Structure 1
Amino acid sequence: MSLPERPPARPPTWRDDDAAPVVVPQGPWTPTLATTCASAAALLLLLLGVLLARPDVAVLAVAPLVLAARALAARPQGAVTATFEGPGVTDDDADGTAGRLRATLRVEGPGPWATVAVGREGRDGADVLVRVDGTRRLPVVARTVRTGPQEVASADVQGAGPDGASLAEPTPRVTRRTTVLPATAPLLEVPLPPRLRGLTGPHPSRRPGEGGDLRDVHPWAPGDRLRRIDWRVTARRSPDLRELYVRREHALAEAVVVLVVDSRDDVGPDPRTWRGSLAPHPQDATSLDRARQAAAAVARAYLDRGDRVGLDDLGVRRRPVAPGGGRRQLDRIRHALALTAPEGAPAERLRPPRLPSGALVVVFSTFLDDESARVAARWRAAGHRVVGVDVLPRLRTSGLYDRERLALRIATLTRTDRMAELADQGVELVTWRDDAAVALRALARRRQRRAGAGVPG
């Protein structure tokens, strides 16, 4: 049983949620309507044959009555149980682009048959008759482009007796839910903050230290190590060894990156769903889905390089994920991203969230209002390097009325002016499309002016 949806651009991974088996006790098995009507017709025909003294007519009713009595006598006794097991992640397709959710529906019952109706997110799916004979496990597969908590599948199960002559009471709908973690697409190059922190890391800093490229050759001073003495330079500059010269290197440092997701907007490519009266189509990835995947990809790129990455949310005031490194930090960030969702009307912030000194800020937003742009401009004015990632999906304007087209045009022009103003204030903008990796590489190779220079306060 498969519930098709448009496959995502990259296969996400899945996190199982806890779910207890659903066991529903059943009442007595009842005859079906067809069996009841056939038995009544055969009994009426038998009575007519007896009253009219027509044995040939009465004989015609004997066989259906015997079969009905035999089927009713063989009615199963007991309860039908339904349990969802899983889900897990299936093998990807040959092109590696189809991520699928899988769950296993376990049906147990005393009857030989059962009717199973499977759906997802309120939509009808497969409706099949399966043979049980005690226990039957049915694989259920669903494709999704969404991330975060969602329904894998829901099922209605009803037991059927021999020859379909009796039915059990239908079980209440059983549902299996899971949390879909965003994918982590590889990125080759990513921008760095203007100032690096720490005494160890993968990037050469401007401070003198150890482990990096050659900085200069300097006369020996207290605190310099003897193994740093450059004897060739010493012999050339001070043949009488009155002064020693040491080689100084640039220290290695790490970058601190804070990912900021704007969860206040969760809009799809259809502008008619932005009002909230209509839900986005299940086959469309929303702006928040794109923000989750973009943030997960950027977090992986920095963490693979040995940098420290944190996560904050503009829409919800909760404790942020503190900057950290390592594989476990990536798991924390992906899990926090999967649980990010709009939670009512967000309170207006009087000041932007506090960030570590010299951190690179990456803001994932649709920039449909002034809040995210205002916060990004404040961070830039404070001296941080700020990269704004536009996660608004490609819009579908077909089927819009004239007034809806006019409203969309006004909103688009306002958004364009807002982003142009951000660019004038020094915020670097990237649109999350198929060429986002190329745009981030261009930012990584661009010379960044001194943080805060020329930025209005």
Structure 2
Amino acid sequence: MNEGWRRTSSTAGALAAGLLALLVGAATGRPEIAVLGVAPVVAAAWDLARRPGARAEVTVRRGRARLPDQGLERVHHTPGSGPIDDAPGSGRLRAHVHVDVSDGTAAVRLRVGRAGSTTAEALVRVDRARDITVTVATVRTGPQDLVRADVRVVGAGFASIDDPVSSDRQQVLLLPSALRLGPMPLPFRLRGLTGEHESQRPGDGGGLRDVHPFAPGDRLRRVDWRVTARRSPDLSELYVRRTFALADAVVMLVVDSRDDVGPDPATWSGFSPVRPQDATSLDLARQAAASIARDLVAAGDRVGLDDLGVRRRPVAPGGGRRQLDRIVHRLALIHPEGEPTVRLRAPQLPSGVLVVVFSTFLDDSAARAARSWRRSGHRVVAIDVLPRLRVGALNRRERLPLRLVLMERTDRLADLTAQGVELVPWATGDPAVELILLSRRSHRRPGVGVAR
């Protein structure tokens, strides 16, 4: 037998029964009994002679993705359809399992699974080679393992069986999907020179600012002849229409990667893993940041990204499709990295930006940075990414510390809103509606944000 191959119990039993019948027939002189043992011995010998000549090979590769660099299909959330309960779920990870076998293979037992999830088994027929598509539901984003496949080859007539062969470990990067949210809030002041938002500066492209007498530098095509005829019938003075200039907004997305907690508070200590079917706070933060970045880039604004959990060069504000891809890829790579560094001061941001902070606010680090940016004159929007908690399985000893932590968190969020930080709950509310309300407050007049 080849290395890894061995006889099955059925083949060994058939050989033993056939040889016993031959011996009994020869010893007793009864040929009819010996003839009964010929068939199982010949069949077993024939099946063993046709056993495969080599071991099977199995490889796993990522399936074709609908979105760049990922194999996920997401269900988009429409504004007004209620809170996002299972975000960022409804994803499917596709993988292709390629199995190569030699001649003499009758069937292959395939076992596919992922760490922490259920395992699926199937008996498949393989003629030399076969590709098998596997689809796995997932709610997680970021770096993670692809499916692991184990195959066990059965020889002809189930006379021999091979030891299990496993595929190599392969990691994939699942990019967060983006939801359709709608209009986004704007900073207090628009600093850009081009864009789609009306600023307070006079210029071209915006709405009507006023009607003013003709002055040096005004263009003749801006002359309003109706107003001129009404105010100066003798054409002694011309009147021109002046408009607001268009500008773009600069937005910095700040993700707090220090916390990655699930909806079950019993797993917050780190001793128990989060269930694979539960989206963590960092999954929600990735999805929220990707959604806001996509809508801002689509509006012609400049978006940057920073991480509160590590000291790393941030993604500078920029616009365009390549900037959006850069931000989404950096979001997928964000994860807790060891012991969080203590920041004595909040990261420096460009002047006049809108700051969007994504955090669970379970401690005071992100809240302290948000307060610092608000005191510096920035408009700050806090996105609460704490998942909807499940407390039904907690005992009395576990409920008491959770209650104290949530009370401190409630006081922390109330202090933020009292200091002018605008709060948007992502998992327990309707973020699309909340952001639309904030955008209306900043669009009351051209280029004017909320009152300070």
Structure-2-length-normalised TM-score: 0.88
Of 326-335 and 227-236, the range deviating more from structure 2: 227-236
SS in structure 1 at match of 2:37: helix
Residue 123 of structure 1, CA deviation = 3.6
Residue 59 of structure 1, CA deviation = 3.2
Match of 1:165 among 151, 159, 164: 159
Counterparts of 1:371 and 1:258 in 2: how far apart (Å)?
Answer: 18
Match of 1:363 in 2: 357
Of 85-94 and 287-296, the range deviating more from structure 2: 85-94
For residues 358 and 93 of structure 1, do their structure 2 counterparts lie closer, same or farther at Cα, with a shift above 3 Å needed?
Answer: closer
Residue 106 of structure 1, CA deviation = 1.3
Match of 1:103 among 92, 95, 98: 95
Counterparts of 2:265 and 2:90 in 1: how far apart (Å)?
Answer: 27
Is 1:426 equivalent to 2:423 in the alignment?
A: no
**Partners of 2:358 and 2:382 within 8 A in 1:** yes
Within-5 A mapping of 1:49-448: 49-89=25-65, 98-110=90-102, 111-237=105-231, 243-433=237-427, 435-446=430-441
User: Mind listing any 5+ residue stretches in structure 1 that lack a counterpart?
Assistant: 1-25
Match of 1:383, as an amino acid? G
Counterparts of 2:431 and 2:22 in 1: how far apart (Å)?
Answer: 80
Of 267-276 and 140-149, the range deviating more from structure 2: 140-149
Residue 356 of structure 1, CA deviation = 1.4
Residue 395 of structure 1, CA deviation = 0.5
**1:392-415 alpha-carbon deviations (Å, 9 max, x no partner):** 011101111111000100000000
**1:34-85 alpha-carbon deviations (Å, 9 max, x no partner):** 3224323432443344344454443332221111111111112134221223
Match of 1:14 in 2: none
Match of 1:17 in 2: none
Match of 1:209, as an amino acid? G
For residues 151 and 50 of structure 1, do their structure 2 counterparts lie closer, same or farther at Cα, with a shift above 3 Å needed?
Answer: same
For residues 412 and 448 of structure 1, do their structure 2 counterparts lie closer, same or farther at Cα, with a shift above 3 Å needed?
Answer: farther
Match of 1:38 in 2: 14
Residue 139 of structure 1, CA deviation = 1.4
For residues 276 and 443 of structure 1, do their structure 2 counterparts lie closer, same or farther at Cα, with a shift above 3 Å needed?
Answer: same
Counterparts of 2:101 and 2:173 in 1: how far apart (Å)?
Answer: 30
For residues 438 and 122 of structure 1, do their structure 2 counterparts lie closer, same or farther at Cα, with a shift above 3 Å needed?
Answer: closer
Counterparts of 2:397 and 2:248 in 1: how far apart (Å)?
Answer: 52
**1:219-247 alpha-carbon deviations (Å, 9 max, x no partner):** 33333333333344445555665554432
Counterparts of 2:443 and 2:297 in 1: how far apart (Å)?
Answer: 22
For residues 95 and 299 of structure 1, do their structure 2 counterparts lie closer, same or farther at Cα, with a shift above 3 Å needed?
Answer: closer
Match of 2:91, as an amino acid? G
Match of 2:440, as an amino acid? R
**1:288-331 alpha-carbon deviations (Å, 9 max, x no partner):** 11111111111112111111111111112222111111222222
For residues 451 and 230 of structure 1, do their structure 2 counterparts lie closer, same or farther at Cα, with a shift above 3 Å needed?
Answer: closer
**Partners of 2:250 and 2:301 within 8 A in 1:** yes
Residue 28 of structure 1, CA deviation = 6.5
Of 40-49 and 99-108, the range deviating more from structure 2: 40-49
Counterparts of 1:423 and 1:175 in 2: how far apart (Å)?
Answer: 47
Counterparts of 1:122 and 1:99 in 2: how far apart (Å)?
Answer: 17
SS in structure 1 at match of 2:209: strand
Match of 1:16 in 2: none
Residue 182 of structure 1, CA deviation = 1.3
Match of 2:85 in 1: none
**Partners of 1:142 and 1:152 within 8 A in 2:** no
Structure-1-length-normalised TM-score: 0.87
Counterparts of 1:263 and 1:93 in 2: how far apart (Å)?
Answer: 23
Give the % identical residues.
58
Counterparts of 2:223 and 2:50 in 1: how far apart (Å)?
Answer: 98
**Partners of 1:194 and 1:448 within 8 A in 2:** no
SS in structure 2 at match of 1:352: coil
SS in structure 1 at match of 2:374: helix
User: Could you say what the CA RMSD is over the residues aligned between the two structures, in angstroms?
Assistant: 2.6
**1:137-170 alpha-carbon deviations (Å, 9 max, x no partner):** 2111111111112233111112211011112342
For residues 311 and 277 of structure 1, do their structure 2 counterparts lie closer, same or farther at Cα, with a shift above 3 Å needed?
Answer: same
**Partners of 2:76 and 2:180 within 8 A in 1:** no
Counterparts of 1:297 and 1:159 in 2: how far apart (Å)?
Answer: 46
User: Mind listing any 5+ residue stretches in structure 2 that lack a counterpart?
Assistant: 67-71, 78-88
How many residues are aligned here? 429
Counterparts of 1:183 and 1:366 in 2: how far apart (Å)?
Answer: 20
